[in-house]
Structure 1
Amino acid sequence: MKTIAIIGSCDTKYREVKFMKEQIEAEGISALVIDVATGPSPSCNYDVSRAEVVENAGKTWEELEPRTKGEKIGFMMEAAACYVEKLYKEGKIDGILSAGGLQNTVMATNAMKKLPIGFPKVMATTVACGKKTFDLVVGDKDIVVIPSICDFTGLNMVTKQIMANACACCVGMVKHAGKVLQKGKKPVVGVTLMGITNTGACAAVDELERLGVEVIGFHSTGVGGSIMEQMAADGLIDGILDLTVHEITSEYFKDKIGRSGFSYGEDAKYRLVKSVENKVPLVVSTGGLDFVDFAVNEFPPRMEERVYMLHNATMAHIKILPDEAEEVAKRMTDRLQKIDYPVKLLLPTEGMRHNTREGEELYYKEVDDTILRAMRENGNGNIEIITVPGNLDTKEWGIQAAHYMIDELRERGVIGDEIQY
């Protein structure tokens, strides 16, 4: 019989975990309730006690109990993750589920993030509301998030329906899907894109697929790029065509003015890091490095000096300024300096996104020249610098980028002469 793990604080949420266990077992699936309570009250309705979770992490509950609330929560977060990972590796669970507020969400999703993409993970949470971002909840994993609508303070018509839906969601995945990602026989390439590089990137995707390569696109806003790099580090991706590195610009604004723009995610710090550490075949460019995206009511300083265009009614794309281009380019080249194996760097001559050619809304030659000059002067002999005429966001440019990716895969021994363009 298949088993779904339920993570819950069984001192305060004992009614909720009992309800979810009953819902799951009614569907012919076994349920394993794991207690992660850290409060002073006794727990009930669990299958795995908090003491067992703590002992698996090398301590006893008696050692942990006198600590502060924050210390206990911090330890239990890691202990629960360790215990869940152990259950997964032993083949004892087929899905994982939880429901709760902030503390339980952090506990449960920290454990869920230890499990591979494709493994069923469902979190019903109070955190999924308002302007809160999903970084805290999902990180770089495929956690299904269900808004709780109200707080989990016992069983009522709302909480019962939300939890029933969450249980049905997890049961459905366990019964009918829930397979961990596995590579097939084709070489796999990750390609980064966003709307402003979509034409060029999709042309590259089409060309790579025509040549027999499986391609996965990743949106360079938030966590897309870092998820791609983690998948490459995990051996699920054979090469990266990193056409769009826009997160680096958003990261700069977050550090500089305390506001990051729409496309920022905390995992931006991993861009051009994990893939490089694992020496993944890489062809990189500068797509999206030249602009930042802000809501029209949250514009950055110095707007009187800037050129910009509306992306929609609430969001604007703003060309960065020459001095900002110097600092953004330095962030990029600092990462390039750490590359210790052969990679290709493609530089466009007529813009790093759409609307940036002469006469268009975001044309600013000094900014583009500043970035391109820094790339050319990066000084790392492992980087082959290739000038590709035209604008990055064109079909012709994307096809050429795909061909350079094929060259890189062949030079690194990932593919042989069977793929010819």
Structure 2
Amino acid sequence: MAKKVLVISTLDTKGQETLYLKERLEARGLEPLLMDISMRGDEASPADIGPGRVAEAGGSSLQEVRDSRERSKITNTMIRGGAKIAQDLYKEGKLSGAVGLGGSTGSLMATDVMRALPFGVPKLMISSTAALPGLSTRYIGTGDIALFHSVIEISGLSDLLKNVLDRAAAAMAGQVQDDIVSPRSAAGKAIALTMLGPCEKCASSVRDALTREGYQVIGFSAAGVCDRAMEDMIADGLFSGVVDLAPGGVGEHLFGFMRDAGPRRLESAGEAGLPQIISTCSVNHMTPAKSKYKPDYAQRPKYDLDRFRTWIRLSADELREVAGAFREKLNRSKGPVKILVPLDGWSSVDYPGNATYNPEEDRVFVEELHKGLNPGIEIVEVDANMEDPAFAAAVVKASIEIL
């Protein structure tokens, strides 16, 4: 049977271009399903999934959408409806991939719909604004979306645009072939591992050791986006355990800093009942944007990672607040949890002579974490720096015990 591919576009403004893409997908042996997320236009849509159906799935009606002057509200309605329809099609086994076509607004809407589909479902966004500063990261977010920069405006079927759409159709066809490994092929043995430059040596040692034990270890850079994506992928059932060496995104979310990993950081594994090993890399540092610096930040101990990034040490009160958030999240865990704390520095940044090195103040976090922590959650203190081989060995030992 032909693989079904969802084509997301605004046919009121990009009708002929979308229909051409449909023809090219059909020529590649695919079965395109057109989803029209238009919010204006009076002509009947030629789409398989018209804007009226999308609006209704979003909790409104096409008439309400067209009558409204609240652009943000109606945009969210169409995104919500499109996402629900896409998810339903996927759950029913009627969807093998998704491709979008648009400028700024169309790309924002189409990629929001695509991100409702799980990791591993091919997603391709053909956008004339993919290279605009700030928009590409917004289009991708935490999704595994491939951006195809059209360079030229998606307006009129010139030979140049046909070339773009031809190549996009070929790329989409290539992504939905049967010989691509399923991301769920490792179910039951895949482990999520958070990593960060200042604990990279530890993470690499843990990954290598667990790989030798027969696990597939999938790393995530805990810089705010990838660890946020990790939470979604855990909830989707892609992992059987988590080794969370760098959960600093919890505190970054509390304070609105650059490594903010969202409100659900440190929650998905617990909700799924998965075993968790938790440690403390970067938890005692913050990374505020320069525009959000408070007057006292300049007086705090700091460490320049490079010319773009500076880590500033959290205060004792902030450490207590972060510990409280950890405790509240971990206490809801349905599976086993072990917390490993290195006593001689929580990263390669924490070493004697560095201004931010303060193991005594780090104990404020540990002491606060102990208060009211579920008895079944063990805190293991290791007399080492996080980057010492002894600490990596302790993480591996604890992981094997509960994974």
The amino acid across from 1:90 in the alignment is: E
- 2:253 is paired with a residue whose SS is helix
Equivalent position to 2:199, from 192, 197, 200: 197
Shift of 1:341: 5.0
Equivalent position to 1:97, from 79, 96, 99: 99
- TM-score, normalisation: structure 2: 0.87
Alpha-carbon contact 1:329-1:374 (below 8 Å) kept: yes
Corresponding residue number in structure 1 for 2:34: 33
Shift of 1:158: 6.3
Alpha-carbon contact 1:117-1:180 (below 8 Å) kept: no
**Count of aligned positions:** 401
Alpha-carbon contact 1:99-1:105 (below 8 Å) kept: yes
The amino acid across from 2:121 in the alignment is: F
Corresponding residue number in structure 1 for 2:367: 373
- 1:190 is paired with a residue whose SS is strand
- 2:176 is paired with a residue whose SS is helix
The reply on whether 1:348 has 2:339 as its aligned counterpart is no
Alpha-carbon contact 1:120-1:178 (below 8 Å) kept: no
The amino acid across from 1:358 in the alignment is: P
- TM-score, normalisation: structure 1: 0.84
What is the alpha-carbon distance in structure 2 between the residues aligned to residue 277 and residue 87 of structure 1? 26
C-alpha distance 176-300 of structure 1, shift in aligned 2 (>3 A): farther
Deviation string 1:71-123 (CA, Å, 9 cap, x unpaired) is: 44333222222222233233333221012134322332232223222111111
Alpha-carbon contact 1:352-1:392 (below 8 Å) kept: yes
Corresponding residue number in structure 2 for 1:418: none
Corresponding residue number in structure 2 for 1:5: 6
Q: How many percent of aligned residue pairs carry the same amino acid?
A: 27
Alpha-carbon contact 1:294-1:315 (below 8 Å) kept: no
C-alpha distance 274-184 of structure 1, shift in aligned 2 (>3 A): closer
What is the alpha-carbon distance in structure 2 between the residues aligned to residue 126 and residue 323 of structure 1? 47
Corresponding residue number in structure 2 for 1:77: 79
Residue segments in structure 2 that go unaligned for 5+ positions in a row: none
- 2:340 is paired with a residue whose SS is strand
The amino acid across from 1:210 in the alignment is: R
Alpha-carbon contact 2:6-2:99 (below 8 Å) kept: yes
Corresponding residue number in structure 2 for 1:51: 52
The amino acid across from 1:369 in the alignment is: R
What is the alpha-carbon distance in structure 2 between the residues aligned to residue 354 and residue 339 of structure 1? 29
Corresponding residue number in structure 2 for 1:306: 300
Map 1:7-406 → 2, pairs under 5 A: 7-54=8-55, 61=62, 65-70=66-71, 71-125=73-127, 128-132=130-134, 136-149=138-151, 151-155=153-157, 159-175=161-177, 180-184=182-186, 187-254=189-256, 260-261=257-258, 263-265=259-261, 268-293=262-287, 301-339=295-333, 342-406=336-400
Alpha-carbon contact 1:350-1:391 (below 8 Å) kept: yes
Shift of 1:245: 0.6
Deviation string 1:102-149 (CA, Å, 9 cap, x unpaired) is: 432233223222322211111123554444265643343311123454
Deviation string 1:176-231 (CA, Å, 9 cap, x unpaired) is: 65554214365222111111111111111111111122211111112322332333
Residue segments in structure 1 that go unaligned for 5+ positions in a row: 255-259, 410-421
What is the alpha-carbon distance in structure 2 between the residues aligned to residue 239 and residue 345 of structure 1? 14
Alpha-carbon contact 2:247-2:280 (below 8 Å) kept: yes
C-alpha distance 134-293 of structure 1, shift in aligned 2 (>3 A): farther
Q: Which deviates more from structure 2 when the two are superposed, residues 388-397 or residues 50-59?
A: 50-59
Corresponding residue number in structure 2 for 1:257: none
